[in-house]
Amino acid sequence: MRRPFEVPPIPGPGWAYFLDLDGTLLELAESPGIVRVDAVLPALVERLRQSSDGALAFISGRSLDDLDRLFPGHEYPAAGQHGFERRDAQGHRFTLPISTRGRAQARQRLSRVVRGHPRLEFEDKGSSFALHYRRAPRLAGFAHRSARAVRRSLGSRYTVQAGKRVVEIVPAGRNKGSAIAAFMREAPFAGRTPLFIGDDRTDEFGFAVVNRLGGCSVKVGPGRTAARWRLPNVEAVIAWLKDGRPHPRPARSVGRR
């Protein structure tokens, strides 16, 4: 049992960086479209990329196009839509083939759900759908029931995935863990010690893979987790990546989980 927020090892040579964004490097916002990229973040990410000889990748629920919008001028290696799409260090894109049958109807049904409950937000990511209820947490049960009903119409090709005040309908067979495993088989990631930092349930797949590879798994914030270390918030993550120690340090200690 580790103390909560025990400082992870200092980042150093030989590491491969796998970074979630929302809730990890970016503060959560009411809508994913209005998040703010801290002024220090682009330079920090680029420094980590250079210091690791390019072994840095974003591992996100956002689409690759959305990641590029947040970090213009760079096309970092990345896994988008929870691993459904991936871009390697050479810029090659990989997308899991999947039938589009039923998707138009699913999109229409989810759009109707949001028209009836305007504080919900429907996000069409291209190959996956999300219902956000950050502005209406009392609608969590309704959002999850709606997503499950739509998923049933799509069949076993899709699965429902829960996150922080969001429920998503995503293609089955890929997750953040499988994306990290794929990167670790390729240059410049292969042979390095993987680090993955994340804050949400969907990041647990990544923690499991990194633990199996003997790497450093870091959970941001409270909640049960398989991660071996923990940091309290986005501010602490950025401070640790900058100089190896989070600020501010918490005042008390309890069990890891």
Per-residue pLDDT tens for 130-175? 999 999 999 999 999 999 999 998 888 889 988 888 999 988 888 9
Catalytic annotation on 68? no
User: Which is higher by pLDDT, 212 or 7?
Assistant: 212
Would you list the domain boundaries of the chain?
15-95+174-243, 103-171
Higher pLDDT, 111 or 99: 111
pLDDT of residue 31: 82
What's residue 240's pLDDT?
93
* pLDDT for the residue 248: 44
CATH 3.40.50.1000 correct for 15-95+174-243: yes
What percent of the chain lies above the pLDDT cut of 70?
Answer: 91
Contact 129, 106 (CB under 8 A): yes
pLDDT bin (cut points 50, 70, 90) of residue 245 is: low
Question: H or E segment at 144?
Answer: helix 140-154
For residue 3, pLDDT over 60 is answered with: no
Average pLDDT, the chain: 89
Which stretch of 68-82, 149-163, 172-186, 206-220 has the lowest confidence by average pLDDT?
149-163
3-state secondary structure of 161: strand
| Of 20, 22, 66, 68, catalytic | 20
Question: Is residue 142 left, alpha or beta, with left meaning phi > 0 and alpha meaning psi from -120 to 50?
Answer: alpha
For helices 140-154 and 103-116, what crossing angle results, to 10°? 160
The per-residue pLDDT for 247 is 55
Q: 103-171 belongs to which homologous superfamily?
A: Trehalose-6-phosphate phosphatase related protein; domain 2 (3.30.70.1020)
CB-neighbour burial class of residue 188 (10 A; exposed 0-12, middle 13-18, buried 19+) = middle
Residue 183, pLDDT score: 98
- pLDDT at residue 246 in the model: 62
Beta-carbon contacts of residue 215 (< 8 Å; ≥ 6 apart): 16, 193, 194, 195, 196
3-state SS, residue 151: helix
| Predicted pLDDT of residue 228 | 93
Q: What is the pTM of this model?
A: 0.86
**In angstroms, how far apart are the furthest CA atoms of the chain?**
53
